Amino acid sequence: MSDFDLDGDAILRALIYPVQFEADPLNGIDRVMAVVVFAKHLNLALPDVLAAIDTGLASDARLSELIPQGHSEAVIRGFLSALRKRLETEPERIQATDG
């Protein structure tokens, strides 16, 4: 479906899934950070999350089609961009998850 790897696809699906029914996915960023990015049970490495977002945003893939949901491509890309920016602005939380 996309022009990037399956691991990246899986991470992006995990990031989009919790906000699929949000009227505005930007309202779900805190939840996504808590239940996906920094969730111990998923054991995601932050560099992998950032790489998946970067690769997805740089691709021509239809990210809005990674899971069935009603948001436009622009809304999903805007959500991922905002999530990426948020992850960059919380270095203390990010450092707490490294190593």
pLDDT averages per 10-residue partition of the chain, 99 residues: 66 96 96 92 91 95 94 98 92 49
Find the domain containing 56 and state its range: 6-97
| pLDDT of 7 | 74
Say if 51 falls within a structural domain: yes
Q: How many domains does the chain fold into?
A: 1
Say if 1 falls within a structural domain: no
| pLDDT of 33 | 94
Scored b (16 or more CB within 10 A) or e, 33-49 reads: beebbbeeeeebeeeeb
| pLDDT of 17 | 96
